[in-house]
Structure 1
């Protein structure tokens, strides 16, 4: 093992003998973006794009200040402060190739959990033009069943009464926007990079709902002045492991306390809708479009649905990981025909996307043996996923007269999976789903009522009334229950 060199600014020259380091002068970078939620995904995605822009185009006005609002952000705050915002990005290719480089786009990090003032100050600073977010779906504080803002949250109730002592993202944003309005400064853009549909629209609706309750005049100003671009983001970023940290030490003699690993694929599609300027991310591969929704639909119906197709069918066959499914020729063929025959025809027009190349890339990504995704994780919470990813595709194909067999087999397999909880060899399947009891109860009635599973209106809507769907589903579910050799059924449909 080599003598290790701690990652920090003063050691970059020495580290540059062993690993790629930032070539730009970080001292001259101004903070133009404030990012809330500095996890692995942000560092593999937006911060990487920003670093690339600074490397190749000297974008000195677009440095990032990371923000943590929760006590749980203390560790990343401490690590990045110690490492001067630097970290290593480890890109793992399917063929085993590994590319590592030190990323320098994060210039500062502030923790708002105990002292909100420095966070409000940097958001209020005239140089800050964008506040971006990766705060997870839970951070948006809406009721998942109704979609309405949750005013029962005790932190929300506190900051409504104490606007200068915020706790949630909404309190911080309104405090900073009020400062900017009062100082005559332009509003910053609020740019969600979370993996939720219409993320900018959701951020806008939730912030305005909060602001109207806190300060009606400010809410009117926000409504008029602040832009909330929708965006579609994509890069598989697994959790950092000790072996990743050890790899850097053994290979480069580099001591990085929190590197990030990711796949080589990366994509970012953003609505070109900004309040106060933006980086020229298009120079480094980001796609700016007038409407993100067709791209969101593409990702949901191909990537997310494709994952579920492999996951549900793979679980019954006995495959444990998604890459194991892709090593099986029947699964590769089935996935591709599903994507070509059922998912692609119902997509909207997509500018600048080669769909065949995109589908090829999905197969390569799913096959990456270094980014192992467990089948049980992909199948988890299928009751929340399949209505958006797969059932909607079946409904659109029923309306257009398109193929439904490939998607319907997955629904029939989901019934068997929910009922039996075992694969075709009798080995137990781990089922994680908020509706597990309801799913199992409905599925267990299948022998006496073949349509029992799809009578769940909250999941399947009016599909129970569609004669064509009923006929296809009844036939497939009967065949699975007679013989759960899912590969044989898949081959028959192909």
Structure 2
């Protein structure tokens, strides 16, 4: 137990106008801060009811301190801390789904936002639609009042609002999914259609699902971080969140009855379509982040900053951006892509951000199709051979095999971890392992898995990883690209 007093709320909690599903570190470092700033500038009843879909951790961290917490912005020049007041309450859906549904049904709730990671959408990774074989989806279809999933809760809340003649809320996805608003809309409508076609038609006509692009690097908070803040501030904050100074939120301005916080006054960008911004971020940032995570971890680097401190890995990023990624990215309105990727490398190099390669490597089976495989497919269609991104895929394959370059076990956190490890272990040779993993249809679609050039490139890269290690493979790729 800390010797310091717990942080406490000093002002009244704002009236709830939003529900947020998934109150993890990113939400506290991003959505809640934008909303806090918007209310401070423009007012409005936009307090957030934060709802956890799994553990009670967020409730245990936030409730004892009145749902306020400290946000620490980290930069090479130092740290800046502020207390965020936007969260008005916390609930744990598995403990009381009825209370959550009752809150989501209130007319005062005008926006339901989500940061639940890719797997929280119950999305089939290849079809992009609702994964009806998911046991939790089946549970929610059969027992809607005790829904476990985000789609189940949203559809049941909307069904109750329709029954009560209450307008629907806007569903605002803030996860790294391609066209996240359209993807969420498809999943919700498919779920609703399974329950009641009339409900699906009502949601389709009246609800809104704007797409967004979100960007702020947010490392996991450690107990050491919490203790250090207590020593500096004189209070203990179990819900502390630390993040980089940079942030960007691009939002399609399509809300039910136009009702939303004035996020633009906190520097959010409202646009007609977020597609180009989303592609820019998913491929330029998320794609290289995942590449650095797998290859950097295998090379023995703990953080992204340590990884790009290796000149070969920094060159890897620049080569991927200029040769393989930017040619597939449309230029978003108001953006300079060359300046954007230059700024990305500076962000990666920030020594104050301890973003763990192991943390970024989580859930790769869900992330790879959006971040890397789509880019590779576009490259082949355009007649380019994206060998660097194929090296990234080979790095992921070696990582999910569960054994690092020194023979130590890797703690692979992924919904398909057992399937992937079994596929890798089913073959002795590098090419056999590649073929087995290419056969996992929840990750690789037919177009890529049947492409002989892609298969050969990944096999060659995997062989190089085995013979030269990740650092050697990266150095060889960079050298070859420089000579091309």
Q: Identify whether the pair has TM-score above 0.5, normalized to the shorter chain.
A: yes
Instruction: Map residues 219-234 of structure 1 onto 2, 5 A cutoff.
Output: 219-234=200-215
Q: How far apart are residue 441 of structure 1 and its match?
A: 5.4
Aligned to 1:491: 479
Separation in structure 2 between the aligned mates of residue 457 and residue 170 of structure 1, nearest angstrom: 25
Aligned to 2:216: 235
C-alpha contact 2:61 2:239 (8 A) present in aligned 1: yes
Instruction: Map residues 95-494 of structure 1 onto 2, 5 A cutoff.
Output: 95=76, 97-144=78-125, 147-151=128-132, 160=141, 163-164=144-145, 166-276=147-257, 277-315=259-297, 317-379=299-361, 385-402=367-384, 404-410=386-392, 423=405, 428=408, 430=410, 432=412, 434-439=419-424, 444=429, 446=431, 459=444, 461=446, 485-486=472-473, 487-494=475-482
TM score, norm. by length of structure 2: 0.82
Residue of structure 2 aligned with 1:35, choices 12, 15, 20 = 20
Greater shift, 159-168 or 43-52, is seen at 159-168
C-alpha distance after superposition, 1:144-198 (max 9, x if no partner): 4655535566665565555555554445434433443344432211112223333
Secondary structure at 2:251 match in 1: strand
Aligned to 1:21: none
Q: How far apart are residue 105 of structure 1 and its match?
A: 0.9
Separation in structure 2 between the aligned mates of residue 232 and residue 374 of structure 1, nearest angstrom: 22
Relative to 1, partners in 2 of residues 1:477 and 1:138: Cα closer, same or farther, differing over 3 Å?
closer
User: Gaps spanning 5+ residues in structure 1: where?
Assistant: 13-24
User: Gaps spanning 5+ residues in structure 2: where?
Assistant: none
Separation in structure 1 between the aligned mates of residue 168 and residue 302 of structure 2, nearest angstrom: 49
C-alpha contact 2:401 2:420 (8 A) present in aligned 1: no
Q: How far apart are residue 117 of structure 1 and its match?
A: 4.4
Q: How far apart are residue 225 of structure 1 and its match?
A: 0.6
Separation in structure 1 between the aligned mates of residue 382 and residue 92 of structure 2, nearest angstrom: 52
C-alpha distance after superposition, 1:110-144 (max 9, x if no partner): 44444444433332323221111223333323444
Size of the aligned set, in residue pairs, is: 470
C-alpha contact 2:42 2:262 (8 A) present in aligned 1: no
Relative to 1, partners in 2 of residues 1:6 and 1:460: Cα closer, same or farther, differing over 3 Å?
closer
RMSD of equivalent CA atoms: 3.7
Secondary structure at 1:436 match in 2: helix
Secondary structure at 1:254 match in 2: coil
TM score, norm. by length of structure 1: 0.81
C-alpha distance after superposition, 1:246-297 (max 9, x if no partner): 1222101112232122222222222222113222212212122222222222
